[in-house]
Copies of this chain bind each other. A is one copy, B any other.
Amino acid sequence: MREKDTKERILDAAERIFAERGFAGTSLRAVTSAADVNLAAVHYHFGSKEALLQEILHRRVAPINQERAKRLDRIEARAAEEPPSVEEIVAAFLEPAVQLGDGPESDGRAVRALAARIYGEPRELVEPMIREEFGDLSRRFVALLGRARPELSRSEIESRFQFAVGVLIFVIAERYVSNLTPDSELDLNDREAIVRRMSAFIVHGLCAPPADARSRGGS
């Protein structure tokens, strides 16, 4: 038996390659070759390529969503006494995600890139996965933001939550436009600064006055 078992090696290799090439652009032969295992092992251990993707997502996303849920629990418990602040809600949303995949053996970059690129895959492939992993949590975030900003309609809160998701996904995916030019001063390795800036941007965006004249119309 190898040092790291076959299943784990497949998961690690697939994670990296799915992140770079997407689901359709990743062949199982590329994965098994990178994992140094036999092609049939994928079917033996996972049943299908699609199930492999699902399992990769789950193994990475479940821990961060558990952490988010814990943080939400604490915020919700205190919300009975006083409304939550946008800052703490944003922290609960962002912090688990920006640490995604970091560990002693890995800097988590591929994991985060994969989590981000899921949003670009064909809808029928990933919407069930997204709904399953994030549906409940997003409802809870939206509800808490509603407590923090009661003058906004549910619809406007949902929009703003979505904008925050867009920022986060772009940041964790490290897909940048401006640093493609030679004069860019953006240092992608300064993650702390980027996270701090992102948090400030999102908090301030969320704290904007209502953009809708009839913002309370939808409730």
Seen from chain A, the residues whose Cβ lies within 8 Å of a Cβ on chain B are 20-25, 116-117, 119-123, 127, 130-131, 134-136, 138-139, 142, 153-156, 158-163, 165-171, 173, 175-181, 183-187, 193-194, 196-209, 211-212, 218
Contacts and interface: CB of A to CB of B under 8 A. Distances in A.
B197 A212 contact: yes
A148 to B, nearest CB: 15
A201 B201 CA distance: 9
Given A122-B21, A211-B197, A170 B163 contact: yes
A142 B208 contact: no
Contact of A160 (B130, B176, B197): B197
A186 B135 contact: no
Nearest to A27: B24
Contact of A207 (B24, B169, B204, B212): B204
Q: How many monomers of this chain does the complex have? A: 2
Contacts of A178: 138-139, 142, 158, 161-162
Contact of A155 (B21, B162, B187): B187
A204 B197 contact: no
B205 A202 contact: yes
Contacts of A207: 204
Contacts of A158: 178-179, 184-186
Contact of A159 (B134, B162, B198): B198
Contacts of A116: 120
Contacts of A165: 170, 177
Nearest to A154: B185
